[in-house]
Amino acid sequence: MRARLIVMSLLAVAALAAAPAAFASGRNAQTAGLQVALRAQGLYRGSIDAIAGPGTVAAVRTFQRSHGLRVTGLADARTRRALGPLGRPLFGARQLRRGAFGWDVAVLQFLLVRQGIAVPINAYFDGPTAHGVKLLQRRLHLRRDGVVGPHTLTAIVRRNPVPLAQGAVTVATHVTHRTKHRSTRIHVVRAGESLSSLARRYHTTVAKLARLNHLDPSHVLLIGTKLRIPGGSSSTSTHHVTAKRVAYRTASVSSVRALLDRWALHYGVSVHLVRALAWMESGYNNALVSSVGARGIMQLLPTTFRFAETVLIGHRLVHNADGNVRAGVAYLAHLLRDFRGNARLALAGWYQGERAVRKHGLYKVTRPFVANVLALAARM
């Protein structure tokens, strides 16, 4: 009986996820998956907010027109199939674990961010996403296995109904109360910033930012709002924060794609492969810093960056989006040369290390990454 109940609950969740296939206007977690897919196509530049607003609808219509589909602005089944690996499956249709890739993973990542758990929204179930699932499972008093199976999936949907009734956690209200806190710094909100992006930048959580600033995470974060950031006084930390923002500030999707295309052509690497790799690594987010210190759009470790600029390029690079992309593409070109143009082995070398590929072949955890990058490259 218990097994039957689990199966029934999973089917109910899947039905709920599939119901809003047309994606009418309003808030719907499934729409986050659509926005990620459209962003990968270079058609959507807005935030991943699960709101099917004018920007999202216009992007769908543009995609449908360019692919010879009926132009409705609705993400129907044919449109989702045309979007390729990022267009399916809908959230709730399968069990999710590390290595998974697709629409439903993007929705999962959006829901994690909505709960104040900072993960990249790039449709790839990587290490940070698995860690985020475990954090959520701990909150929900579930087995911490990092797998979104029947129990975890049901708990997530009960907590965040699909379609959603509430807004995303990535926006917040204007600060209406000021508090004195000796161990905080001040940040003035700029266009395009959100609680989740600020939490990643300052290595904190959305929940801490909201609590410290007396924010309601269901409302809009206004430009010009002064936020208190935990961890150090504003007088001693301002210089450090400003320097980091200049070094790894975010950029629009179109400008990132232009950089990727420019350096791909310069080094003679497939534009599609470079786009796909950068998307898998960071979701085109130059402000992203991993738990092991990999930085920027290409998620380069400091040692890899230094190798690229000193050995492959021959001079120092600025630590900005352009420098990060150039170093990453130069390193990818180096791997392709060493593996005689074999993109599969080059991507494996990128993921696990060139020496390890030659000695051991592809690790089990490497294979999904390589397969997903190659699949995405065919659509970008």
Q: How far apart are CA 33 and CA 112, in angstroms?
A: 13
Grade residue 325 by pLDDT with cuts at 50, 70 and 90. Answer: very high
Supply the pLDDT for residue 265: 94
List every span in the chain annotated with CATH 1.10.530.10: 253-377
Q: Higher confidence at residue 378 or residue 240? A: 378
User: Average pLDDT for residues 313-321, to the nearest whole number?
Assistant: 92
In the CATH hierarchy, which fold is given to the domain comprising 253-377?
Lysozyme (1.10.530)
Supply the pLDDT for residue 52: 82
Of 108-112, 153-157, 180-184, 243-247, which range is least confident? 243-247
- Domain 184-247: CATH superfamily, name plus number: LysM domain (3.10.350.10)
Question: Is residue 336's pLDDT more than 80?
Answer: yes
The string over 30-60, giving b where at least 16 C-beta atoms fall within 10 Å of a residue's C-beta and e elsewhere, is bbbbbbbbbbbbbbbebbbbbbbeebbbebb
Q: Higher confidence at residue 319 or residue 159? A: 319
Supply the pLDDT for residue 373: 85
Residue 103 burial class via C-beta count within 10 angstroms: exposed 0-12, middle 13-18, buried 19 and up? buried
Looking at mean pLDDT, say which of 18-22, 261-265, 295-299 comes out highest.
261-265
Supply the pLDDT for residue 221: 58
Question: Is residue 315's pLDDT more than 80?
Answer: yes
Question: Is residue 346's pLDDT more than 90?
Answer: yes
Give residue-wise pLDDT tens across range 149-188.
888 887 887 776 554 223 322 222 232 333 333 456 787 7
Grade residue 192 by pLDDT with cuts at 50, 70 and 90. Answer: low
Please report which helix (H) or strand (E) contains residue 229, including its range: strand 226-230
User: Average pLDDT for residues 210-223, to the nearest whole number?
Assistant: 64
Give residue-wise pLDDT tens across range 24-37.
334 688 899 999 99
In the CATH hierarchy, which fold is given to the domain comprising 2-159?
Muramoyl-pentapeptide Carboxypeptidase; domain 1 (1.10.101)
Grade residue 253 by pLDDT with cuts at 50, 70 and 90. Answer: low
- pTM (predicted TM-score): 0.49
Supply the pLDDT for residue 8: 36
Q: Higher confidence at residue 172 or residue 337? A: 337
Rg of the chain (C-alpha set): 21
305 and 327 Cβ atoms separated by less than 8 Å: yes
Question: Is residue 212's pLDDT more than 90?
Answer: no
Give residue-wise pLDDT tens across range 352-375.
889 999 999 998 888 888 888 888
Question: Is residue 74's pLDDT more than 80?
Answer: yes
Q: What residue has token string 């998620």?
A: 299
List every span in the chain annotated with CATH 1.10.101.10: 2-159
List every span in the chain annotated with CATH 3.10.350.10: 184-247
Supply the pLDDT for residue 239: 32
